Homo-oligomer: A and B are copies of this chain.
Amino acid sequence: MFFYIFEFVKDQIKKELAKLIRSFNRKGWSPATSTNYSFRISEEPNTIVVSRSGIDKAYFTKDDFIEVNRKGEALPAFESQRPSAETLIHCSIYDLFPQAQFVLHSHSVYPVLWSMKLQEQIIFQGYEVQKGFDGQKSHLDEVCIPILENSQNMVEFSTWMENRSAEFTNHCFLIKGHGTYAWGKTLFEAKRHLETLDYLCELEWKRNFESK
């Protein structure tokens, strides 16, 4: 009985997330099959539902998710399909931030541009939209978002995440030459964090470089 409820809930979430993934794709946030997405439900704390590898996000549907354990290994029912190479990043986020229920990823251009220009972090100050990050209360405060090196070795990358996890106070980070990750307690919140970061990166880029 409980099983059917969980399955129904998961199915509804998959539909909603798939729709959001396609809308991000229309904005150009996931070119060339890039990006990946996941969620978990509190009733199944050891299961992560994550997008399959190599799917064109313009056509992503609820059937393009598979289930993995907390180490990123496909559960038996999904063994024939390959999880995204970056599944371990999702696992690390859920390990480091127990409240996170959704993890979103984007390759939108302005965060990537900043990631190539700066080293350790990007700082925003003076923008109303900073309040889009949970915990931020005023445009007057400084908001710091960490930038991590890119790596093709996901174990190495997970170690870097762990080492810098104290800096992840705004529920997102950038990866150099790669993109952004953002998470939240709900899909609504994770989306807000991702959009906040993208918007601030665009404003700050145009403000700094176009108007000089």
Say how far A202's CB is from chain B's closest CB, in angstroms: 6
Determine the distance from Cα of A212 to Cα of B193 in the docked complex, in whole angstroms: 29
Question: Which A residues are closer than 8 A to B by beta carbons?
Answer: 23, 28, 31-34, 56, 58, 107, 109, 112-113, 116-117, 126-129, 132, 137-140, 150, 152, 175-179, 188, 191-193, 195-196, 198-199, 202-203, 205-212
Determine the distance from Cα of A195 to Cα of B34 in the docked complex, in whole angstroms: 10
CB atoms of A206 and B109 under 8 A apart:
yes
Chain B residues with CB under 8 A of A205: 206, 210-211
Chain B residues with CB under 8 A of A31: 129, 132, 195-196, 198-199
**What's the number of copies of this chain in the assembled complex?**
4
11 contacts between A and B (CB under 8 A): A31-B129, A31-B198, A31-B199, A32-B129, A109-B199, A109-B202, A113-B207, A116-B126, A117-B207, A128-B179, A209-B212
CB atoms of B113 and A191 under 8 A apart:
no
| Selected contact of A56 from candidates B109, B178, B179, B192, CB within 8 Å | B192
**Are A128 and B203 CB-contacts (below 8 A) given A139-B178, A177-B139?**
no
Is chain A's interface secondary structure helix, strand, loop, or mixed overall?
helix
Say how far A44's CB is from chain B's closest CB, in angstroms: 26
CB atoms of B178 and A113 under 8 A apart:
no
Chain B residues with CB under 8 A of A178: 127-128, 139
CB atoms of A56 and B129 under 8 A apart:
no
CB atoms of A206 and B175 under 8 A apart:
no
Determine the distance from Cα of A109 to Cα of B200 in the docked complex, in whole angstroms: 10
CB atoms of A139 and B150 under 8 A apart:
yes
Determine the distance from Cα of A126 to Cα of B117 in the docked complex, in whole angstroms: 12
CB atoms of B23 and A58 under 8 A apart:
yes
Chain B residues with CB under 8 A of A199: 28, 31-32, 107, 109
CB atoms of B129 and A192 under 8 A apart:
no
| Selected contact of A210 from candidates B33, B137, B203, B210, CB within 8 Å | B210
